[in-house]
Structure 1
Amino acid sequence: MTSTKAAVVREKGGAFLIEDVDVADPRPGEVAVRLVASGICHTDLLARDQVMPPAAPAVLGHEGSGVVTALGAGVDSVAVGDRVVLAPMSCGQCRNCRSGHPMHCAAFLALNLRGRRKDGSTAYRDAEGAELNGHFFGQSSFSSDVVVHERSVVRVEDVLGDVPLELLAPMGCGLQTGAGTVLNALRPAPGSSIAVFGAGTVGLAAVMAARIAGCDRIVAVDLHDHRLELAQELGATHVCRADAPSLVADIVAATGGGADFAVDGVGLPRTARAAVDVLNIGGTAAVVGSAGAGQEVSLGLSPLFGRTVKGVVEGDSVPALLIPQLIAFHRAGRFPFDRLIRTYPFEEIERAVADTASGATVKPVLVH
């Protein structure tokens, strides 16, 4: 048992309260990690507000980087002292996992949103001994110490170089989601055109990945001018205000008759619809964001002719492959994700949440 600090949500829409918690020792197949940093993602806020599970009281957070402190029996992929990035959990046994698509695991929701291990237990208890829901996206990284399954641990010891470990926390969700959607799910050919809705972490990672892929027309869409300016600096060739009355027509014009690809990094009905409407015949739209969880989207039948719409989870990545690749791109100056990040002391999680909600900070990272 390890005593540590964690940010606990105790009621729907409630504050993240820094509390003393106890974390159980790792079981067989599990790894204990002491975190150096935790990213804040919009999905954490959806869970806080009970738009999605788990129920309160819970330890949320699903973007963590840290150092291995203990191993459960049978773990041989990492060693104590290894620097690691955490990623979502997958079963490893279903058809999608076995075919190299673990982020589309058939058991993804049960393993990552239930707030419990597969057997229904939790490794987290509060100071009074009461159980806390945890294991959020296999992590619950809003705890300074975590216990995760071996499948959720990505060793970065050999590729880290001089990149600060605390900068890598967002690799576990936002960065791999945006970049993986482009590089893994869409795979645009050099010279392709792409429209990216949302210039947050997911969208900007998609913009950078589109540049790596060789797209020659990259359109970024957002409501915040400072994010659009950053998108241009990171590779966007055109930018559009999301509230422009002629948004779809503007994107069609900017891409020379319609985009080959589109990424909806917001996940609202209107952005998902727009991502389809801007496509040329033969184009593909990937819906990635989840801001509209529980909502429905309507699509015209005619615009679907010859076009493809696909939902993508976590960039359809194999985290142990994509995350080291993205670190290598960063070290080569091709994926400057550090420009999205602003760090905060862990104890200032509420200020970081406010800054992400207002749009002032693209990617808040809490430093433990």
Structure 2
Amino acid sequence: MSQSFQAAVIRQQGGPFAIEIARVKEMRPDELRVRIVATGMCHTDMIARDQVFPVPHPIVLGHEGSGVVEAVGDKVTSVVPGDHVVLTFLNCDHCSACHEGHPAFCENFNLHNFSGQRVDGSHAIEGDAGEALHDRFFGQSSFAQTTIAHERNVIKVRKDAPLDLLGPLGCGIQTGAGTVFNALKVAPGSSFVAFGGGAVGLSGVMAAAAIGATTIIAVDIVPSRLKLAKDIGATHVINSKEEDALARIHEITDGGAHFAMDSTGIPALIAQAVLALRPRGTAAVVGASKPGSKVEIDLIDLMQNCKRLIGVVEGDSVPHVLIPALVDLHMAGRFPFDKLVRFYPLDRINDAAEDSEKGVTLKPIIRMPE
């Protein structure tokens, strides 16, 4: 008999999540079975639920899982049963981007993370009656008590860290922090602006503080988010409903910021992020926009001031390097991402989704029943 477990299944565009019984199918030699302790909820789960990104339904979503390894395939060497792990995105490991040390820019990213199946078309789980369920979301589908993941997207972490907290390091927190560390390469003494005060934007704020940026500006329209930004490292906050954000940024930085990051995906704010830069500054786009969205950029400003606008996925991170480092920073008190989260039991996953979309909760984490 295959192992059965509870999973949150999406069966129609827009949801809701339905708690159902699923079963594990055969595990491959390069895969492992993980007992999920908790899983962060991310904006990407919502756009997959709503099929803004056209993932197939019915599907088990969830891509910020943390848990304990229960069993490993014959070819798995990096972890053993009992190890604590964080699950992250899956890459192909054979394209040029992967070979060059940029697995987050994998040329086959969508195939491995959004197709709802293994590359060969098979599935790791099924419904209780044996019906097909789409899975493999980010190589994990971790809105469930149990998951089958690949060795490449499983990161071993220290056992003294709070395992139920760590899942968001696999995507949202990694995206904001990794963009600061890896893609923008924010330098000590520099200035950094985060457009958007959600979990990704505030992760960028914490990372900029940890790396030694001395002017860190958070821009949002929600006062509670701006207050939190000040608590976790922002030196300045701007409510763009109440004042001209561009004028204020240029005033604070005496001519523009060295670095900016937009996590909103709103075209007008992406354009503002470029205008907020000083000459030779760099802005990163990390938020998901609707397919086909366009941005109007002042090209003379971009060219004459030698500015750069870059797109970044998953913080351009090597997760096996970044995630343990973020855990260490957190345990040292230098990366307080626990201030962003709120926990929900699995049977309240729809409440978590609603609270996330309303902005009531920055980073929901779904705890699995034992």
What is the TM-score when the length of structure 1 is the normalising length? 0.97
In the other structure, the counterpart of 1:178 is 176
Q: In the alignment, which residue of structure 1 is the partner of 2:339?
A: 339
Pick aligned residue for 1:271 from 264, 269, 272:
269
Q: Deviations over 1:167-204 (max 9, x none)?
A: 00101001111000001111122111111011111111
CA contact (8 A) 1:185 1:312 kept: yes
SS at match of 2:166: helix
Deviations 1:56-104 (A, max 9, x none): 1111110000011111221111101111000100011111111211111
SS at match of 1:210: helix
SS in 2 for 1:344: strand
Aligned to 1:79: 80
For 2:223 and 2:290, the matched residues in 1 are separated by: 23
Deviation at 1:243?
Answer: 3.0
Distance 1:70 1:298 in 2: 51
Q: Is 1:125 paired with 2:123?
A: no
Task: Tell me the secondary structure at the aligned position of residue 79 of structure 1.
Answer: coil
Structure 1 segments, 4+ long, off by >2 Å, are 242-245, 291-294
Gaps spanning 5+ residues in structure 2: where? none
* Partner of residue 352, structure 1: 352
CA contact under 8 A between 1:269 and 1:292: conserved in structure 2?
Answer: no
**Matching of residues 136-285 of structure 1 within 5 Å:** 136-156=137-157, 159-161=158-160, 163-244=161-242, 246-285=244-283
The answer to whether the 8 A contact 2:4-2:128 is kept is no
Q: Quick one: distance in 2 between partners of 1:184 and 1:160?
A: 26
> Which residue of structure 2 lines up, in the alignment, with residue 6 of structure 1?
7
Q: Which moved more, 1:321-330 or 1:269-278?
A: 269-278
Cα contact 2:32–2:151 (8 A) shared by 1:
yes
CA shift for structure 1 position 291: 4.1
Structure 1 Cα separation of the partners of residues 267 and 241 of structure 2: 14
AA partner of residue 176 (structure 1) = Q
Contact 2:40 2:363 in 1 (8 A): yes
From the superposition, tell whether residues 291 and 356 of structure 1 become closer, same or farther in structure 2 (CA, over 3 Å). Answer: farther
1:315-334 aligned at under 5 Å gives the runs: 315-334=315-334
Task: Give the distance between the partners of 2:313 and 2:12, measured in 1 at CA.
Answer: 27
User: CA–CA distance in 2 between the matches of 1:18 and 1:278?
Assistant: 45
SS of the counterpart of 1:132?
A: coil
Report the aligned-residue RMSD.
Answer: 1.2
Secondary structure of the 1:131 match is coil
Q: CA deviation at 1:349?
A: 0.2
The 5 A counterparts of 1:291-330 are 291-305=289-303, 306-330=306-330
Structure 1 residues 31-40 or 289-298, which shifts more?
Answer: 289-298
Q: Give secondary structure in 1 for the equivalent of 2:91.
A: coil
Equivalent position of 1:18 in the other structure: 19
Please identify, of 177-186 and 126-135, the stretch whose mean Cα deviation from structure 2 is larger.
Answer: 126-135
Residue segments in structure 1 that go unaligned for 5+ positions in a row: none
- 1:327 is displaced (CA, Å) by 0.7
Aligned-pair CA distance for 1:303 = 2.1
**2:58 aligned residue:** 57
Deviation at 1:293, TM superposition (A): 4.0
Distance 2:291 2:42 in 1: 15
> C-alpha offsets along residues 85-137 of structure 1, whole Å, 9 cap, x if unaligned?
00100011111111211111111111111111111111121123221111111
Deviations 1:289-309 (A, max 9, x none): 114344222212112120001
Name the aligned partner's letter for residue 130 of structure 2.
Answer: G
Which residue number corresponds to residue 37 of structure 1? 38
Residue correspondences, number: 365
Q: Percent identity of the aligned residues? A: 50
Q: Please state how far the C-alpha of 1:359 moved relative to its aligned partner.
A: 0.7
Deviation at 1:244, TM superposition (A): 4.2
Change (3 A) 1:211 1:65: same
Which of 282, 285, 288 aligns to 1:287? It is 285
Q: Following the alignment from structure 2 to structure 1, what is the Cα–Cα distance between the partners of residues 294 and 44?
A: 18
Indicate if the aligned counterparts of 2:52 and 2:290 stay in contact, CA closer than 8 A: no
Distance in 2 of aligned mates of 1:352 and 1:302: 44
Instruction: State the AA in 1 paired with 2:202.
Output: L
One-letter amino acid matched to 2:364:
P
Shift of 1:14: 1.7
Separation in 1 of the partners of 2:11 and 2:242? 40
Offset at 1:338?
0.7
- Structure 1 Cα separation of the partners of residues 258 and 362 of structure 2: 27
Using the TM superposition, give the Cα deviation of residue 317 of structure 1 relative to its aligned residue in structure 2, in angstroms: 0.5
> Structure 2: how far apart are the matches of 1:336 and 1:245?
29
Take 2:252 and 2:159, find their aligned partners in 1: how far apart are those partners?
A: 38
- 1:27, 1:341 → 2: CA distance? 34
1:135 aligns with 136
